[in-house]
Amino acid sequence: MKNKFIIFALAALLLLPVNIFAAGFVRENTFMDKSGANRVAEVKKWQARMNLPVTGTVDAKTKTALYTPNYEVYDMVVNAPTQDVWISINKSRRILTVYRGKQSIGKFPVTLGTTATPTPSAKAVIANKHKNPAWGGMGGKYTPAAADDPNNPLGERWMGLRIPGKSGYGIHGNIKPNQIGGYYSNGCIRMYNYDIEGFVFPTMKVGAPVWIGTDSELESWGLYQYSRIKKEEVKPTPKPQPKPEEKPKEFQAEELLDF
């Protein structure tokens, strides 16, 4: 039994990526000097920028990105829906990305819908934008809230979405920042208030495309969001070159022997 355990442990070590952690290396971040709720929020924002699943905890994937020098993060857009600004919402990672054409210009953590009230996957469009919106309470399901009401779950920014066959969905602020990075909403996309107010709302335009989907759905549309250890290039071993044949020395007169 003991021998089996040792064999299993050695096999597990062999499967670990080479150079996963480099001594002394720490990737630039904004959370290691924070504590409490501020630290959690900064972890979520850093995870979004690194294309990691947003959890708010320094989990195994976050540690790998934090301590691995050859870690790479990039987006590849095969066919952008516009050369102007547009949005993708990755339901697998809880990340909203703002693009200009094929270039990512901002990444943000979001809250998405629960399993009972999921955020739909779709190629949507921003239909309208409102500052300080009132909330209707979802047709009587909840108590409505007026504009500027501190209990208004929309926060102070709303971007309504036009989704084929759906209605009532949007991207908006929130009053429960601790839920960012999870699946808690009635299907809408919630953001930190400072993210939507300071960047996303003023950047986006009515009519801008919004792609909402899982990793696999986004990839099927031509959007790839990578977060992984970069494989080191293996250089081929140079083949040994054959040595040039040595030419026989010509006999000199003094080298001749008398028989």
Q: Hey, what are 85's tokens?
A: 């600004």
Q: Looking at per-residue confidence, does 38 or 10 come out higher?
A: 38
Question: Looking at 33-42, 95-104, 148-157, which range is the least confident one?
Answer: 148-157
Percent of the chain at pLDDT exceeding 70: 80
Which residues, listed in sequence order, are joined to residue 189 by a DSSP beta bridge?
171
Confidence of residue 2 (pLDDT cuts 50, 70, 90): very low
pTM attached to this predicted model: 0.81
* Residue 257: pLDDT over 60: no
Burial class of residue 161, CB neighbours in 10 A (0-12, 13-18, 19+): buried
What pLDDT score does 18 carry?
Answer: 41
Percent of the chain at pLDDT exceeding 90: 73
Mean pLDDT of the chain: 87
Confidence of residue 174 (pLDDT cuts 50, 70, 90): very high
Per-residue pLDDT of 223-248, as tens digits, reads 999 999 987 665 666 666 666 655 55
What pLDDT score does 254 carry?
Answer: 46
Question: Looking at 71-85, 159-173, 243-257, which range is the least confident one?
Answer: 243-257
* Residue 258: pLDDT over 90: no
> Domains of the chain: which residue ranges?
2-229
Confidence of residue 67 (pLDDT cuts 50, 70, 90): very high
How many Cβ atoms are within 10 Å of 234's Cβ, its own excluded? Answer: 6
Per-residue pLDDT of 8-27, as tens digits, reads 443 443 344 444 555 689 99
Fold of 2-229: L,D-transpeptidase catalytic domain-like (2.40.440)
What mean pLDDT comes out for the span 84-98? 98
* Residue 253: pLDDT over 60: no
| Gap between the Cα atoms of 161 and 156, Å rounded | 16
Per-residue pLDDT of 198-225, as tens digits, reads 999 999 999 999 999 999 999 999 999 9
Per-residue pLDDT of 98-124, as tens digits, reads 999 999 999 999 999 999 999 999 999
